[in-house]
Chains A and B, each alone.
Chain A
Amino acid sequence: MIAYYMCFGLFFVGLYGVITRRNLVKIAISLSIMEISTFLFFALIGYIDNGVAPIVNPADPDKIYVDPLPQTLVLTAIVIGLATTALLMAVIIRLYRKYKTFDIREINELRG
């Protein structure tokens, strides 16, 4: 159970970063930290004690395999996470070229 709580703590650290930081790069980092904690949670759900990786060995078919379904979902989510991070960094670099700052309050004051 401790692992679940640590995983949830990692999510809180990311949430804290998103809410309190003013720097756009730091906000992107915090978002990716929240993402990573979710991936870890899914991998923890599917784990089985003494299980082996879900690769079938025809010679010995009666092994215990860990759950392949959460791993599949995480596999999709990791790649989509890369896509969202790339889009976010593109928006950030574009904002920096226009306003010459990463600070979201200054960008808010300089609007237009």
Chain B
Amino acid sequence: MEVAISIITGLMILGALFAIHAKDLLSAVIACGIVGYGLVICFLLLKAPDLAIVQIVVDTITLIMMVAVVLDSSREESFSRLDTFGKIAAATGLIIIVVLFYFFIIASSNLDVLGKSSLRMANAYIHGAAQKTGSANLVTGVVFDFRGYDTMGEAVVLVTAVLGVLTILRLKGKK
């Protein structure tokens, strides 16, 4: 299992690197699709069918949005020499990556080994959840019953985003 996940994640890293370095923006967007659909396969291997269904829909919509934006504008990526600003940005990025990697090494000693998760909080959810919530699917039970307020906040965020997109894309403002 771990080998399969690692291989798929490696392919996702390759797709991500190609997306970042592609000359044509359209191929960059499509290479970004490799990463999203690779995640779908990982979810299926990790026994998360709900996530796989949601991710395949969301990734398709994201891809359509990005392709629409790219086709509506210039597709060439502008490469140029590394100026002072670029060098400063690259150095800052290197420092951030080293610091993050240090913290990851510290934190990884506290992680459970893959496949030996110790169900700290979820025991209360798993035992008797089907009787408490009436839902056979535990994920649905948690989303809509135990954590219903989270879901309401998510709906508020979605409505706010839709309002934001409509406001930004309104063609003519008030004169």
Residues in A lying within 8 Å of B, measured CB to CB: 1-4, 6-10, 12-17, 19-23, 25-26, 28-30, 32-33, 36, 39-40, 43-49, 51-58, 65-69, 71-72, 74-76, 78-87, 89-94, 96, 101-103, 105
Contacts and interface: CB of A to CB of B under 8 A. Distances in A.
Interface of B: 1-3, 5-6, 9-10, 12-13, 16-17, 19-20, 25, 28-29, 32, 35-36, 39, 42-43, 46-51, 54-55, 58, 61-62, 65-66, 69-70, 72-74, 77-78, 80, 85-86, 89-90, 92-93, 96-97, 100-101, 104, 108, 111-117, 119, 121-122, 125-126, 129-130, 136-139, 141-143, 147, 150-151, 154, 157-158, 160-162, 164-165, 168-169
16 contacts: A12-B101, A20-B90, A30-B20, A43-B43, A55-B136, A56-B138, A57-B136, A65-B126, A65-B138, A67-B119, A68-B122, A69-B142, A76-B151, A79-B154, A86-B162, A94-B168
Nearest to A72: B142
B117 A29 contact: no
A71 B138 CA distance: 10
A10 B169 contact: no
Contacts of A23: 25, 77-78
B47 A33 contact: no
A33 B19 contact: yes
Contacts of B58: 78-79, 81-82
Contacts of A82: 58, 61-62
Contacts of A33: 16, 19, 32, 35
Given A1-B114, A36-B36, A19 B93 contact: yes
Contacts of B160: 83
B85 A105 contact: yes
B37 to A, nearest CB: 10
B51 A74 contact: yes
Given A32-B36, A45-B117, 13 more contacts: A29-B66, A33-B16, A48-B119, A54-B139, A66-B47, A68-B125, A71-B48, A71-B50, A74-B51, A75-B51, A82-B62, A83-B157, A92-B69
A14 B142 CA distance: 31
A68 B47 CA distance: 10
Contacts of B157: 80, 83
B54 A75 contact: yes
B51 A43 contact: yes
Contact of B48 (A15, A28, A66, A80): A66
Contact of B168 (A19, A22, A72, A90): A90
B165 A87 contact: yes
A26 B122 CA distance: 38
